[in-house]
Structure 1
Amino acid sequence: MSGGRYRGPKGTYDVYPGGPGAKQEPHERPEMWAWIEAIAREAFARYNYREVRTPIFEEADLYVRSVGESSDIVRKEMFTFTDRAGRELSLRPEGTAGVVRAYVEHSLDRLAQPVKLWYSGPMFRYERQQKGRYRQHNQIGAEVLGSSDPLVDVEAMALLYSIHQAAGVCEEVIHVNNLGDLETRERYVPELKGFLEKHRAELDPDSVARLDTNPLRTFDSKDRNTQALLAEAPRLDEYLTDEAREHFDAVEAGLDALGIPYVVDGALVRGFDYYTLTVFEAKSGALGAQDAVGGGGRYNGLVREIGGPDIPGIGFGSGVERILLAASGPSADPALDVFFVTLSPEARLEAFRLAGSLRAAGLRCDLDYAGRGAKAQFRQADRTGARFAAVLGDDELREGSVKLREMSSGEERAVPLAGGVKAVLEAVSG
């Protein structure tokens, strides 16, 4: 049966080599994932962030305490299971909670503050599959713990924007909002809740469910009727404390100083209950209605909430799949520099030796391992996208040379091997 009897689980995908060609989908070009990760690593190094790696599963309660019981992640999307010892565990739906847990567990507050960390890896959410959104998706993220400076907020946005621009994300604008501090919430939430209670019958079911847990999350609703109602609701910015307003003013000044394109979006709340003060989302006009490429925010009470000291923090996450959809992407390089075509059994060992030397010098090389004839080997060289075919037979062995054929033009020339592979390297580099 074609393709076998098993299929990948719903909401997942394989990344596999689909052969050369510029029109391939991202999942058929594994090199694009490595390309994005290399861009991110370079950016994190420039901003002085260090890597952290955490498990892909944690105690389920960690996510309930941090992300919030009212969040869609906890209510609908977590993959939760009980292990053989009866412990309730969850596959990680987002990166911040695990990083903060590691910060507390290993007493990283004893290090010079702030501690600037980055991570990458798979996240898991049981949600309806859409283009660029999967039940297992890959995320690149960063967290800064130990500073409440508003310029750290700006740095986080600048870093996210820098990664996206290096990847070629098109038409990107940062949406930013101020959710206020604890005192702001104490002023505003009762007013918002009172307004929503008067219009309970007009709200969608999810928004009704959030009334007693986190009314602010109503702004995250995608329901059109709820959104129309919220246009008449009390405005959060009218309840900001002087400190919260000053913080946001400094954030805007920092974004202006760096020339990062942004808009203030009063309806932006993001999906997690732990956010305070600054929240932001990077959006690309290349993605249509589902335009978010990444986002994050400040979470000044989260470290204390999970048992650590009262340490401020801010972070972001960006899905690799979303970046690839929004990015122009690199041109597809040829898969190989040189494919060796051998015309006799004696030539195979010499081709194998030469390929090893060229690989050590940085070229991408391969040769036939299937016992093909000469014509089939040339076809294989073409299929692999090799720029050159290096032909070795008895004549070439006697002459101490290799015949180098440029695959695009068919032009051939003999290259001497007396000086090792130096002449081949020069010919290929060209």
Structure 2
Amino acid sequence: MQNPELLTGQVLLTHANPFDAPATEALTVERRGAVLIDGGRIVATGTAEALRKENPQAKTTDYGDALILPGFIDAHVHYPQTGIIASWGKRLIDWLNSYTFPEEMRFGDAAYAQGVADRYLDLTLANGTTTVCSYCTIHPQSVDAFFSAAIARGLRAYAGKTCMDRNAPDGLRDSPQSAYDDSKALLERWHGQDRLEYVITPRFSPTSTPDQLNALGALWAEHPDCLMQTHLSEQVDEIAWVRGLFPNARDYLDTYETHGLLGARGLYGHAIHLEAREKDRLREIGAGLVHCPTSNTFIGSGLFDMAGLMAAGQPIGLATDTGGGSSFSMLRTMAAAYEIGQLRGTPLHPAQLLWLATAGSAQVLHASNKIGRIAPGYEADLCILDLASTPAIAQRATRAKDIWEQVFPTIMMGDDRAIMAVYAGGKKQIGT
């Protein structure tokens, strides 16, 4: 080892999916634990006492009673919407026309795109997020800006040029051919560089003609190792719009499947109002769904069926959906997922919430062997969580009977003040 560092504290360990196994067995906490990192990776985990004895040469950073967990993974965001987050009073289609499209027009300016990319990643890092999967804009320079900012911060990142050739303003439309050509050039430039992966990105069926969907389906077939991301069944009026635009489709999902855009490496954001055939087909393919709870409540989309879809064996990740989502924080996102579960009569255990924000999102990104858990060989992306970051949280945590009662107040009431430190690729990016 070259420069080993030993982090001590309470360490979250992931053994299984807590939706398939008892939650408190699937995730456990080593109360006096430690994580040894070196060369950007996790080398060992265990008790602090044992790892100190085995690695006397390691620099030790003691985080006391703080919780050391994997860095949060945000599986569906729109970084260009950073500046319009928390905009008032619109549902999906009006949101796009009133806020999103005017803002995205500005990303033709490379300097503007770079400034927003830097601001966005600084905000998410401050909230403990070390991996994001983002939509960019139709402008190739928006992708360049995002990936450049991610490399500068040592982050694992996924992103792609958003493709639209109809139902969008002048200046935000490409064509089937330019969508294919631009996406292919960006893929060849960025995919696999450092810790970056290119994601083929049709925004959603209403803003792409069948010819454009076919072109992107062809590109995905040529590069099946890439992810593909889009939106699915977010709002009922959106679904009605899709029916009018694709009268021969069996359902919303069919508008993707018919054009080669349904696959195991597909990420389908929202997926609230699914029909029975869509649920069966998504599960059969093994495609990933991404739950965006703050967005779903903020723009009035509906209540995602986490319990039902998980019970059926559907892979599911968690996301802020910036800026339709109303927070950059995965803590707030977990709190919203809990609240939606309560409204559906199926509250989520704290272990399930933490799993969704780490290993669950890693699963849908097909990165379960790299990120999302603390284990030897994994990339050293870590978040150090202060479980008494405010007086309100601290007074509740002191009454906790176990670690899960201690963690839960931070999930429900925590914000960036709870983030004591963040490591990305083994390097401390946040914290002193």
Q: TM-score, normalised by structure 1?
A: 0.26
Rg comparison, structure with higher value: 1
Point out which structure has higher relative CO (alpha carbons under 8 A, 6+ apart).
Answer: 2
Q: TM-score, normalised by structure 2?
A: 0.26
